[in-house]
């Protein structure tokens, strides 16, 4: 495992630097490196490392979400709050339901099978989007109208909707006695519980840092430990109570910024440094989950359904930003920022196949294809348009 980590660090840094040098996003180089190093091409990564890949990717995602929370102020959030709520649900629901209906025609799926596919694909990738929005926040691009904050907040909640509705369709397929109304009601409850949990731990940390002198490096370690604990609580209660753990993670950073802004600014710099390592682990290991042969099986029909889904998602973004102060360029940027998919698709794409669904193979193939297509193209599109569309 140590050899694999060394390979990821050395080649990951090189891939990141090379792709930035030629004007492409560094994460694209890391994703492609993961594909090449992974079990489906060179198979250079140790099996033990791949077995804990999900945990490592979650820790990396926690790091960037903590950093995001430390950069979101109450005034910024108030400015985009209503729009963020709309963008967190309308685009994903439109995309998921559109794919569900189209897959009935393209693949002869039932509506429930189509729903499973639709909400496998419906989640935007915070792993791709959040680091880019933090970069634009630091560059002061779109900050006047709170656009990076809008996308940071809505992209995180978007995943909660997608995963919850995916789980509901999965239960309906398996014949579980699921009350769809109650499941949908669980979404705002899950979001609220996640925020409450994050605020609770955030206030404890604020009091701890106020009463005791603790070096910033140790503060980072304590915050990271608490954030991981929130996701542990989320998993432990999964069968009884849904909690949006990653939203709680962001809430910790938000509370620290509100109560101890000077400390929060110093901690942000620490998390920026930690992200250099976490970013390599996250994107290389996401890439290692991608089976190109499986993606090829999805073929042109797979590409078509991904494209149709993105069109529906884009309409959802435009509807969500109607009546706001955003001009057409800024609304177009929001559409582009909602393209990338990676984290959720890598995490749940294989679940239907593992449960023995006949449609599972096609669902996995299209999920993998969506990562291959939207993560690189989305990140390139975001990078190449941000300075032109945002002021």
Longest CA–CA span in the chain (Å) reads 63
Q: What is the pLDDT of residues 186-201, one digit of tens each?
A: 788 888 999 999 999 9
Phi-psi region of 356 (alpha: psi -120 to 50; beta: other; left: phi over 0): left
User: Structure pTM?
Assistant: 0.88
- Sign of the torsion angle spanned by Cα atoms 161, 162, 167, 169: positive
Number of neighbouring beta carbons within 10 Å of residue 107: 17
Q: Among all chains, which residue has been given the structure tokens 């990271």?
A: 224
pLDDT mean over 93-119: 95
pLDDT for residue 180 is more than 70: no
The matching CATH number, chosen from 1.20.1530.20, 3.40.109.40, 3.40.50.720, 1.10.10.10, for 2-389 is 1.20.1530.20
What pLDDT, on the 0 to 100 scale, is given for residue 211?
A: 94
What pLDDT, on the 0 to 100 scale, is given for residue 291?
A: 82
Out of 122-136, 297-311, 355-369, least confident range = 355-369
Out of 72-81, 93-102, 255-264, least confident range = 72-81
What pLDDT, on the 0 to 100 scale, is given for residue 1?
A: 85
Give me the torsion for CA of 41, 46, 52, 53, rounded to 10°. -30
Q: What is the pLDDT of residues 241-293, one digit of tens each?
A: 778 898 999 999 999 999 999 999 999 999 999 999 999 998 898 888 888 88
Share of the chain above pLDDT 90, in %: 65
Domain ranges of the chain: 2-389
Task: Decide: residue 273, CB within 10 A, 0-12 exposed, 13-18 middle, 19+ buried.
Answer: exposed
């Amino acid at each position: 495992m140590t050899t694999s980590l060394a390979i990821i660090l050395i080649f990951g840094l090189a891939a990141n630097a090379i792709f930035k040098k030629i004007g492409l996003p560094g994460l694209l180089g890391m994703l492609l490196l993961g594909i090449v190093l992974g079990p489906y091409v060179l198979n250079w990564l140790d099996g033990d490392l791949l077995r804990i890949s999900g945990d490592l990717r979650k820790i990396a995602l926690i790091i960037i979400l903590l950093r995001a929370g430390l950069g979101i102020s109450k005034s910024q959030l108030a400015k985009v709050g209503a729009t963020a709520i709309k963008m967190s649900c309308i685009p994903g629901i439109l995309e998921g339901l559109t794919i569900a209906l189209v897959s009935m025609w393209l693949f002869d799926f039932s509506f429930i099978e189509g729903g499973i596919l639709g909400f496998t694909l419906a989640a935007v990738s915070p792993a791709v989007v959040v680091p880019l929005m933090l970069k634009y926040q630091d560059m002061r691009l779109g900050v006047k109208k709170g656009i990076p904050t809008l996308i940071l907040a809505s992209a995180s909640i978007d995943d909660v909707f997608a995963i919850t509705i995916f789980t509901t369709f999965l239960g309906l397929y398996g014949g579980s006695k699921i009350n769809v109304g109650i499941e949908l009601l669980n979404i705002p409850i899950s979001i609220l519980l996640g925020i409450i949990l994050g605020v609770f731990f955030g206030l404890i940390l604020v009091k701890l840092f106020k009463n005791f002198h603790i070096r910033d490096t140790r503060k980072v370690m304590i915050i990271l430990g608490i954030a991981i604990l929130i996701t542990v609580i989320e998993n432990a209660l999964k069968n009884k109570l849904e909690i949006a753990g990653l939203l709680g993670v962001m809430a910790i950073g938000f509370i620290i910024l509100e109560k101890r802004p000077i400390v929060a600014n110093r901690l942000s710099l620490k998390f920026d440094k930690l992200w250099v390592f976490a970013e390599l682990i996250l994107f290389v290991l996401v890439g290692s989950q991608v089976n190109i042969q499986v993606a090829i099986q999805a073929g042109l029909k797979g590409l078509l359904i991904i494209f149709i889904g993105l069109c529906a998602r884009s309409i959802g973004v435009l509807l969500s930003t109607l009546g706001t102060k955003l001009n057409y360029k800024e609304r177009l940027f929001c559409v582009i920022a909602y393209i990338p998919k990676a984290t959720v698709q890598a995490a749940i794409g294989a679940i239907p196949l593992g449960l023995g669904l006949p449609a599972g193979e096609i669902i996995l193939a299209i999920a993998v294809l969506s990562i291959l297509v939207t993560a690189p193209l989305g990140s390139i599109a975001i990078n190449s348009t941000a300075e032109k569309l945002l002021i």
